[in-house]
Chains A and B, each alone.
Chain A
Amino acid sequence: MNMLKNEMRRFVKSKVFVVFLLLFTAISALNLYANYNHAVSDYDHYKYDYESYLSEGKTEEEIKAEIERGYTILLQDKSFFKSDLFLENPLQYYIEATQKDVNFFAPVNLLSLVIEPLISIAVIFVTFLASICVTDDIKNKTIRNHVLRYGKTKYILSKIVSTIMKNLLAVFITLILAYIAGHVIYSKLSTDITGIDLTVTDLNKSNYAVQILVLIAAVIFYSVIGVFLGIVFRKSYFCLKIVLIKSFLPFNFKYDISNVINHFMAKIYIFEGAFVHLQQTEEMSDMMHLIPVGATALMIAFMLIFFKKRSAY
């Protein structure tokens, strides 16, 4: 308990905490900003087409009828570098697109919006933070003082628990900040967008509990991965580099962690939000590519342990 208290106190005072808090917050802010821009952009398209119809001499009743008629996608080409879309009668399409964008970051959905980037991009940082926290004592040799004081079992247990707590603390502070920012942006949006119903569907406040549990589970899971990588590789971050590279390659994000997470989250947590829209189920069969990477990382881990005669102490 004493060690846990000391560890948390030390963490809050450290540069690592500030840096990672900034990273988590930056990711969430970027995500909020991107979705806000997306919503405004879709609404601008809607407005432009609406005004075009008016300039063509159509009455409001006729435009309403057009909207009810729906839209047809003539051509859609979406890749990492460009996105081409040709529509017939696009008004209804842009109404739906705007509603979907708003759904992504409406305050009631905010937790999921924060969780989503956290478990897709920020998990890499959760893993890194965990591995930095767990190797901290090895790097400073303070592991000797702690193990002598508490014994190996107690030390390792406290270290794992404190590492998870450190990650949870950083992530939850980000969550609170993102929640406040989400409220501000959402209220700004309701003045920017008029004529489209922005009521969020398929989610109510009771989902907060589920979302928080999902967040805790994700942070614990990736912290444990970080602890494992940290303990096995100590000062060598080679395996972490593999995780990082593999998470962002190839560039179309086919096999990245976010894909895995979104795939599973969409199954557990079904609503018209980020998880469902971002999952790329057709590529899930290709997740098998992760197996040789994992196997190589483990092989290197065992080789390092095998050739390293001296202990971490």
Chain B
Amino acid sequence: MIKITDFSKKYGKDIIYDNADAEFETGEISFLMGRNGCGKTTLIKCISDLEGYSGKIEFDGRQINDEVRKDIFVVWDECTFYNNLSGLDNLICFAEGKSKAEIKEAALKYFSPELIRKKVSHYSYGQKKKLSLALISILRPKTIIMDEVTNGLDYAMLKGLKRDLQIRKNDSTIILTGHHLEFYSEIVDTVYVIGDKKMQRYEKKNGEKFDLGEIYDEYVEE
């Protein structure tokens, strides 16, 4: 579980969050919703310890440390791989402690043997996203954060992603952001609407699926 308490963040004079609170439970898929530039990626950067903030962010009651770090993985909207290395070399580079055979086996579930040996600079946007998903399947982190992960993914990959997330949520804390609301509506358990420098939590009623479009119209557009 990730617990955020009295969280404040500002860039210069622009206040993004002001004493906001949130709890992202293990076993749930949480969704961050808000307009462009409302601070979704900023929150992810703060959770990942990439940016400074005031307040407290705890992972199962612990502040971020070397052990916690090993269990977090973020899929960013932008590609975070070395363009001059092959997909396989990138996986080897970022999947420390895993054997080459294990990495290769996982990679081949997502890529053909020819493609995984090509340089990432030749990959399409969707293929780069796939590479991140392959890395998650190798690392099996406890905390998975995906920033606009559905962008660029084909139908088959979306289906696979949905299946993977539903399997992984049992022992992971999953946070998603994005604008592909029909896709997320089917899998999310909790929604946080970001606005007015706070995070407002919405939970499913009686196990029904969310209608994220409706929530967006009602709470974000207003």
The chain B residue sitting closest to A146, CB to CB, is B94
Cβ distance B48 to chain A, nearest Cβ, rounded Å: 5
Contact partner of B81 (CB less than 8 A), chosen from A2, A142, A309, A313, is: A142
Chain B residues within an 8 Å CB radius of A313: 45, 50-51
Chain A residues within an 8 Å CB radius of B66: 150-151
Contact in complex: A147, B49 (CB < 8 Å): yes
In chain B, residues 170-214, which have Cβ atoms closer than 8 Å to a Cβ of chain A? none
A15–B79 alpha-carbon span in the complex (Å) = 21
Contact in complex: B78, A141 (CB < 8 Å): yes
In chain A, residues 131-161, which have Cβ atoms closer than 8 Å to a Cβ of chain B? 136, 140-142, 144-145, 147-152
Chain A residues within an 8 Å CB radius of B72: 148
Chain B residues within an 8 Å CB radius of A2: 96
Which of A2, A140, A147, A152 has the largest number of chain B CB atoms within 10 A?
Answer: A140
The chain B residue sitting closest to A7, CB to CB, is B93
* Secondary structure class of chain B's binding surface, majority of residues: loop
In chain A, residues 264-313, which have Cβ atoms closer than 8 Å to a Cβ of chain B? 309-311, 313
Cβ distance A162 to chain B, nearest Cβ, rounded Å: 13
Sorting the interface of chain A by its residue count into under 10, 10 to 19, 20 to 34 or 35 or more gives: 20 to 34
In chain B, residues 109-148, which have Cβ atoms closer than 8 Å to a Cβ of chain A? none
- The proximity string for B residues 76-109 relative to A, scoring 1 for CB distances below 8 Å and 0 otherwise, is 1011111111000100011010000000000000
- The proximity string for B residues 1-32 relative to A, scoring 1 for CB distances below 8 Å and 0 otherwise, is 00000000001101000000000000000000
Contact in complex: A142, B96 (CB < 8 Å): no
The yes or no answer to B69 lying at the interface (CB within 8 A) is: yes
Chain B residues within an 8 Å CB radius of A148: 48-50, 69, 72-74
Chain A residues within an 8 Å CB radius of B64: 151
Contact in complex: B93, A6 (CB < 8 Å): yes
The yes or no answer to B163 lying at the interface (CB within 8 A) is: no
A41–B82 alpha-carbon span in the complex (Å) = 50
Chain A residues within an 8 Å CB radius of B14: 309
Chain A residues within an 8 Å CB radius of B73: 148
The yes or no answer to B70 lying at the interface (CB within 8 A) is: yes
Across the A-B interface, the 8 shortest Cβ-Cβ residue pairs? A313-B50, A141-B80, A148-B48, A309-B11, A2-B96, A144-B80, A145-B80, A141-B78
A-B contact pairs, 26 of them (CB 8 A): A2-B96, A10-B89, A13-B85, A15-B84, A136-B82, A140-B80, A140-B81, A141-B80, A142-B81, A144-B76, A144-B80, A145-B80, A147-B49, A148-B48, A148-B50, A148-B72, A149-B70, A149-B94, A149-B96, A150-B66, A151-B49, A151-B64, A152-B49, A309-B11, A309-B12, A310-B11
18 more contacts with CB within 8 A, not counting A141-B78, A150-B66, A313-B51, are A10-B85, A10-B89, A15-B84, A140-B79, A140-B82, A140-B83, A142-B81, A144-B50, A144-B74, A145-B74, A149-B96, A151-B49, A151-B69, A152-B49, A309-B11, A310-B11, A311-B50, A311-B51
